[in-house]
Amino acid sequence: RKEVEQDPGPFNVPEGATVAFNCTYSNSASQSFFWYRQDCRKEPKLLMSVYSSGNEDGRFTAQLNRASQYISLLIRDSKLSDSATYLCVVIINAGNNRKLIWGLGTSLAVNP
Amino acid sequence: EAQVTQNPRYLITVTGKKLTVTCSQNMNHEYMSWYRQDPGLGLRQIYYSMNVEVTDKGDVPEGYKVSRKEKRNFPLILESPSPNQTSLYFCASSLRQLTYEQYFGPGTRLTVT
């Protein structure tokens, strides 16, 4: 089983739709969680951190479920500009260091 | 403007010809790393550096070298490139090790023939 798993999609949704992605992780000692956004052939950029109590940033809501070991990203009122790949990132302790584990990403296409 | 820069952005080279991809950040970040991104495999870390003169292997270090002589620069060296190193490469930096936001460079698309 992969350490971080995401549904690759693609998710095709109309403008204005609400869409949600999940990301499951296998290491129960995972410490920190993030969602990054990557546009085609460009660099990943941080979308939002994921806090234990859940957090919201405008149309985006991130949640963490430690019991079931997944994080989620909800996008409300989808815009054409939301079309991108969304990468789930988990930080785990690895010996004396921390390690960043990247999911393969979920592709979203928002259609007019 | 706070940024990570990489050069070159695109490179086509031949097997065995040594090359260096430069990476520089102007944010005084301690932590820097190199990734490669391949279809179906996602982002994989090649090397990372926790600070000046401190480097360590990531998940896929074979065929690569790095150095960190100054805080701002973290070049990636391919001593003898091979076709399986054809990939999209990203340099990234963060304030400290992984706790903070990773800032990525624009990427270097390398083709080895």
* Interval B2-36: pLDDT, tens: 899 999 999 999 999 999 999 999 999 999 999 99
Residue in chain B closest to A99 (alpha carbons) equals B98
When scoring A100, A102, A104, A106 by the number of chain B Cβ atoms within 10 A, the one with the most, hence best to mutate, is A100
Scanning B4-63 for CB atoms below 8 A from A yields 40-45, 56
In this model, does residue A109 exceed pLDDT 70?
yes
Cβ atoms of residues B83 and B113 within 8 Å:
yes
A96: Cβ contacts below 8 Å, ≥ 6 apart = none
- Other C-beta atoms lying within 10 Å of the C-beta of residue A80: 10
A100: Cβ contacts below 8 Å, ≥ 6 apart = A89, A90, A91, B45, B98, B102
Judge: B45–A98 Cβ closer than 8 Å, yes or no.
no
Structure confidence at residue B98 (pLDDT): 64
Cβ atoms of residues B108 and B8 within 8 Å:
yes
Structure confidence at residue B67 (pLDDT): 97
Judge: A104–B88 Cβ closer than 8 Å, yes or no.
no
pLDDT in tens, A59-108: 999 999 999 999 999 999 999 999 999 999 999 877 777 788 999 999 99
pLDDT in tens, B43-85: 999 999 999 999 999 999 999 999 999 999 999 999 999 999 9
Closest partner residue to B90 (CB to CB) among A34, A43, A104 is: A43
Closest partner residue to A102 (CB to CB) among B40, B42, B56 is: B42
Using 50, 70 and 90 to split pLDDT, how confident is the model at B91?
Answer: very high
Structure confidence at residue B99 (pLDDT): 66
Judge: A91–B104 Cβ closer than 8 Å, yes or no.
no
Q: Are strands A106-111 and B4-7 parallel, antiparallel or unpaired?
A: unpaired
